[in-house]
Amino acid sequence: MKLLKLIFGFLVIAIFSCQSPSDGPIEPRPMRVLFLGHDSENHNSSVYMPMLQAALAPKGYYFTYTSDPNALNESILKDYDALMLYANHDEISDPQEKALLSFVKQGGGFFPVHCASYCFRNSREVVRLIGGQFESHDTATFTTKVIEPDHPALSGFESITTWDETYKHTKFAKDIHVLMEREDPDGNEPYAWVKEYGKGRVFYTALGHDERTWSKPEFHDLLGRGLHWVIGDAKATALDSLDLPVLTYSEAKIPNYEDRDPAPKLQAPLDPVASQKRIQIPPGFSLELFAAEPDVINPISMAWDHRGRLWVIETKDYPNEINVTDGIGNDRIKIIEDTDDDGKGDKFTVFADNLSVPTSLVFSNGGVIVSQAPHFLFLRDTDGDDVADERRILFSGWGTFDTHAGPSNLQYGFDNQIWGVVGYSAFEGKVGDTDHSFKQGAYRFQADGSSLEFMGATSNNTWGLGFTEGFDVLISTANNTHSAFLGIPDRFFEGVEGLKIKSVKKIDGHYAFHPNTANVRQVDVFGGFTAAAGHHLYTARNFPKEYWNRIALVCEPTGKLLHRAIIEPDGAGFIEKDGGNLLASSDEWVGPVHAQVGPDGAVWVLDWYNFIIQHNPTPPGFENGPGNAHVNPLRDKQHGRIYRIVSNTASKVSYPDLANDKLENCLATLENDNLFWRLHAQRLLVESKSVDSKNELINLINDKSTDEIGISPGAIHALWTLEGLGLINDSEKEVISVVYTALSHPSAAVRKNALHVLPKGPAHLNKVLAEKLLEDENAQVSLAAILYLIDQAPSDQIGTMLFKLSQEERIKADEWLSRAVYVGAVRHKENFIKAMHQNTPDKIASGFQEEVEEIDWSGSDVDTEDWKELETPSRWSETNAAELQDFDGIIWTRKEFTLNGNQAARSGELSLGPIDDTDDTYINGKRIGGMTRAWNDARSYRIPAGLLKDGENQITIKISDSGGRGGIYGNDEDLFLKLGSEKIDLNGTWKYKVEEQFFPNREVFEEGMEIADLFMKFHGPYAQELSKSLPDAENDIDRVIEMATVPDQMKYDLEEFSVQAGERVKIVFSNNDGMQHNLLIGSPGSLEMIGKTADQMAQSSVGVEKEYIPELTVVLAAAGLVDPGEMRDIIWDVPNEVGEYIFVCTFPGHWRTMNGVIKVVSELQ
């Protein structure tokens, strides 16, 4: 769990200028603090900074985190009022040193904390700036002493008592002013000091080793006081004058899932202007209010039409007033327009009302499709008054038992289908002629409702969907998977066993989110994403370049924030990194539920603005409602806000004029720099059946130019427009030709999408193979090529290619490529087995061998010297055992206790409280009980008489957990041994040892499994049986042909020979020449294709590795490069089709002269 390096591009212009103290009066504003940490779990800055942020953001201190010392840059530091340093960076470069010193000299505040006193030791000037250097430490619990109580930095601060490291310092600067000390037998040690440097100020404290100090409110108070002093008097006055809205609270009946003491209170709502003052966004951006109550109430989803007008769904019926009988309710869809161009909505038109819990909408065929379980509705305005007068059901089957688990996120896909996600309310119904039943995940359907396809299953309630500009599909789920990648559609996995991961993989790189308030109320995944919603990427060009096609917008309403997820390619898949927040609020009513790039290139945010966000489970003292949410009268039905986050450097955007009768504008818009406009233009072209646009679309694809991030949007959308128009088929030779051209486009995204639209068939596969897309330098293109290969009709050639791929190291090293090849092996298992039979018959004969080590640490004789300590009871994630913080797996834990003879003679009861989630419990090596996957059940086991011993005894428990937060986690009083009326407490320090760590998000191939081994594990018996019927490579030869090279003439000694259809032929090839040659057999008429492909291979570094043998379906057999004087055999199963086949040498430059004909006849005389 790490916050990743800062995105520097947006840190150019602050919303508020950061003047130095000498600049005179400063307008009231928040203070911006750059927190420089490091990537380490020791002094875990990425964990501790959010603790401080939650405490001080409500007071007007806005933090930005980075772990990269390159943030010490004048262009970055100028946007901040103070720099806080908490890290172990050994050295500082000359430019970084200059920037840091200049920042402080010119009036910036500098706040080094704890280990910062051992940073940048190569710079004497920085050490002097800090004021001293760490020398050594022990640890202790101690109380600091303020020795300068009248200094403004610590005025009113008394002391802090904490466990911490007992720092001793050296190299003290002469100008430090010590404010606080730690008493020490060797003399009191300075523990907080201040100094001035030019116009700036420095505050240092030695406190802060770990969460035992960082979690204390008095430590937050100390740091807040220090920040107030280091920013300087003028800025402190500006902060004090900010007039942040005061949050007022009252007693109320509020769910207390965290069992807090004191229980949460009800915050009063703020008006939009006041609430906006408590919202933090990054430097370089502005937050603009577009609409608010009473014009907008409970906004849950939004979309913009092809005119750029905002459409918003308002749902007062959510969550418990759903009407599933006739669908008539109190919800509506509203069109909001800004008619005077002042950035605020001023025209509000109700397009449709009397809806009941609609959750999303998408534009289609002159109307909108609306998800409203149990139906998908189609609404249309037929008379031009912006009010729907047509309403019909498109199809039905969506579950309604839980309103926050239904369908949502409807979006028009590149593939001209409508995409969406659904939670655990699931789908069961008939669409077209097909019955469907699936649980949570992603799906797509034809806009006319004629067909539906389930695309991939997710792990829990699913509320987020987004596309990259290259049509990669990303997903967020509500609970602990705020970012996931859909890499292989679900249909490929039918009948495929053995994989941990199928279509969708969790890719998020961190657990925690980073709220601006400590008053976060959550049902589970405490401190992490438990209500992640939306996964739209930033797909315009109005924000700085670092955002383009790489920052995903993930709302977290329980955290009052909009997360910035950094999405980066990782082989054929993606990884997510923590980019902090794009928006965070200390107003407890703020609830971002939908964020998306709008037509203007800004990020628009729907704020549900509701104090009660939590849905279920129903807490004690509350009732469950019809929407499976707890009934709570505090659920608000009067508020709602819509914001725009605007880059301060962005230019005003002119909207294209799109319409069904302005198709020339649609064609031009396919190259727009905002994906929003491109998809609308594509949709309008497809819906208008604009086949006359074929030539213009072809021209877009032939354009080889790319933008700054390697995307060629015009070509991508032109491909999919042609597909949507039905023009990509074998009768359209010109279109097929341009799709072939796209297979070699400079943009990997174009090559990948060309594979998606290319029709299936041998001729098209040959083109894919000729372009070497299976081995493309971009792994995502390779993945698309492998899936294209799998979709072909079965053949021995497909099986051979899949087997070869399964042996390649680049395939084994990439989880998605290895998964795809394994899927292909299963889907083409007969042909894959034939290839295994030809190449690795021993693997088939031996079958799958799996070694399993049996571990039993229950015995009294087990040496526990290397076992570690674990405070019990406690959840693993809440202990100080770092290796158990995010642990899934098996541990053994042990507690030793001593009994006298009378005690040992009795039977007894062992009470352990709840264990998460599976246990096997032993006393002195004998199992006395256990429960499986019963994470919430208390354990109480009988101990039979005679099992306990006089003297030393052991309780040993094997605990297995696969869902996080495992352990013996009840209360202290739950953990005891009862012998008659006597109770022996067992809480305290136990010992533990890890047996195995589970990696549910790690595929079996990452754990060392070979593709062929996994295949044999699940298909070994079938492979062995089939192998018996297959001829051995060297046996059952019907005919032997001997041929050789003619020395120094670049020709074979045979120009033609004949074989019989269906027989097995062995060709013995001898190289009598003074250079290398190979021998390939090809289908009739394939000489030129094979030869030209070989010419291309000659220009590639992998040509010699592949022995200049093209991977084409027309290559039927081959002997690789044969050195002079050597010989090599080919075993060829001659096809049943008669004709003139070819043989050829494809060493560079040879094929045109070194070839001949093989006549395959029905019967040889």
Each residue of 72-112: pLDDT tens digit?
999 999 999 999 999 999 999 999 999 999 999 999 999 99
| Beta-carbon contacts of residue 267 (< 8 Å; ≥ 6 apart) | 247, 248, 249, 519, 587, 588, 589, 611
Where exactly are the structural domains of the chain? Answer: 29-240, 285-647, 667-739, 760-839+1001-1027, 868-997, 1039-1161
Contact 1017, 498 (CB under 8 A): yes
Q: What is the Cα 50 distance to its own chain's centre?
A: 21
Strand 908-916 with 331-337, pairing: unpaired
**Within a 10 A sphere around the Cβ of 338, how many other Cβ atoms?**
16
Name the CATH code of domain 1039-1161 (choices 1.10.3720.10, 3.10.180.10, 2.60.40.420, 2.40.420.20): 2.60.40.420
Which pLDDT belongs to residue 21? 42
Region 950-974: mean pLDDT is 91
Which pLDDT belongs to residue 18? 47
* Most distant CA atoms of the chain, gap in Å: 115
Could you give the dihedral angle defined by the CA atoms of residues 536, 540, 542 and 548, in that order, rounded to the nearest 10 degrees? 70
In this model, does residue 586 exceed pLDDT 90? yes
Task: Assign domain 29-240 to a CATH class.
Answer: alpha beta
> Residue-wise over 720-744: b if at least 16 C-beta within 10 A, else e?
bbbbbbebbeeebeebbebbbbbbe
Which pLDDT belongs to residue 410? 98
Peptide linkage before 626 cis (omega within 30 of 0) = no
**Within a 10 A sphere around the Cβ of 932, how many other Cβ atoms?**
9
At residue 88's C-alpha, the angle toward residues 83 and 91, to 5°, is 85
pTM confidence score: 0.84
pLDDT-derived band at 24, boundaries 50, 70, 90: low
C-alpha span between 555 and 614 (Å, rounded): 15
Lowest mean pLDDT among 138-142, 224-228, 240-244: 240-244
Average pLDDT, the chain: 93
Q: Mind spelling out the 3-state secondary structure of 567-630?
A: EEEECCEEEEEEEEEEEEECCCCCCEEEEEECCCCCEEEEECCCCCCCCCCCCCCCCECCCCCE
Each residue of 154-187: pLDDT tens digit?
999 999 999 999 999 999 999 999 999 999 888 8
Closest to 855 measured CA to CA, from 781, 958, 937 = 958
Q: What is the CATH number of domain 868-997?
A: 2.60.120.260
Region 630-648: mean pLDDT is 97
Each residue of 1029-1072: pLDDT tens digit?
887 756 678 899 999 999 888 899 999 999 999 998 999 999 98
| Beta-carbon contacts of residue 471 (< 8 Å; ≥ 6 apart) | 413, 414, 415, 716, 720, 749, 752, 753, 756
Region 987-991: mean pLDDT is 95
Region 463-479: mean pLDDT is 97
C-alpha span between 1120 and 1100 (Å, rounded): 17
Task: Assign domain 285-647 to a CATH class.
Answer: mainly beta
Each residue of 889-941: pLDDT tens digit?
999 999 999 999 999 999 999 999 999 989 999 999 999 999 998 888 999 99
Region 1111-1124: mean pLDDT is 88
Which pLDDT belongs to residue 23? 53
* Distances from the Cα of 119 to the Cα of 84, 128, 869, 877, 980, angstroms: 12, 12, 32, 30, 60
Lowest mean pLDDT among 774-778, 829-833, 976-980, 1130-1134: 1130-1134
Each residue of 400-409: pLDDT tens digit?
999 999 999 9
Region 456-483: mean pLDDT is 95
Q: What is the DSSP letter of 1007?
A: G
Q: Kindly tell me the burial class for residue 756, based on how many C-beta atoms sit within 10 Å of its own C-beta (0-12, 13-18, 19 or more).
A: middle
In this model, does residue 12 exceed pLDDT 90? no
Each residue of 376-430: pLDDT tens digit?
999 999 999 999 999 999 999 999 999 999 999 999 999 999 999 999 999 999 9
- 921 or 498: which carries more pLDDT confidence? 921
C-alpha span between 1083 and 292 (Å, rounded): 70
Which pLDDT belongs to residue 1106? 82
C-alpha span between 789 and 799 (Å, rounded): 10
Which pLDDT belongs to residue 11? 29
Q: Kindly tell me the burial class for residue 850, based on how many C-beta atoms sit within 10 Å of its own C-beta (0-12, 13-18, 19 or more).
A: exposed
Q: Mind spelling out the 3-state secondary structure of 624-655?
A: ECCCCCECCCCCCCCCCEEEEEEECCCCCCCC
Counting residues of the chain whose pLDDT is more than 70, the rounded percentage is 97
Each residue of 847-905: pLDDT tens digit?
887 777 789 999 989 999 999 999 999 988 778 787 887 788 999 999 999 999 999 99
Which pLDDT belongs to residue 352? 98
Region 1073-1080: mean pLDDT is 91
Fold equal for 285-647 and 868-997? no
Each residue of 785-844: pLDDT tens digit?
999 999 999 988 899 999 999 999 999 999 999 999 999 999 999 999 999 998 899 889
Q: What is the DSSP string of 420-450?
A: EEE-TT-EEEEETTEEEEE-SEEEEE-TTSS
In this model, does residue 713 exceed pLDDT 70? yes
